[in-house]
Structure 1
């Protein structure tokens, strides 16, 4: 079980990707520290790859693009 979370790492990931935004193919944001703490970076990245999603990290926040569309940096 993840330290500090009542959910197992798998349940924590399931909870994120079962959100309305994720199901709709939208964008969600999570604290990078929480990802490290509750599931671990490698497990998180493996799940992104399995789902075909992408993510970006900035200032301690991870933006998860819950779709397979390309990402284009604007500036």
Structure 2
């Protein structure tokens, strides 16, 4: 399935107050793939120095460039 490129979608996500505070965002993999595509999301996250995790059909974006340690 080809995403319907919505450039404003990525801007809206990363302008949220949660991002400014270094919080965590969660988005459905299906929605991301439909709206902007997986590659575009990865590029946006990398450009900001954030971290991206995929689990259970969700993308979890950690809006902080600090070191990550997975506990379990």
Q: Give TM-score scaled by structure 2 length.
A: 0.88
Pairing of 1:18-37 with structure 2 (within 5 A): 18-37=15-34
Instruction: Confirm or deny that 1:72 pairs with 2:69.
Output: yes
Gaps of 5+ in 1: none
Matched, 1:45 2:54: no
Aligned residue pairs total 70
Structure 2: gaps spanning 5 or more residues? none
Would you identify which runs of 4 or more consecutive aligned residues in structure 1 move more than 3 Å?
none
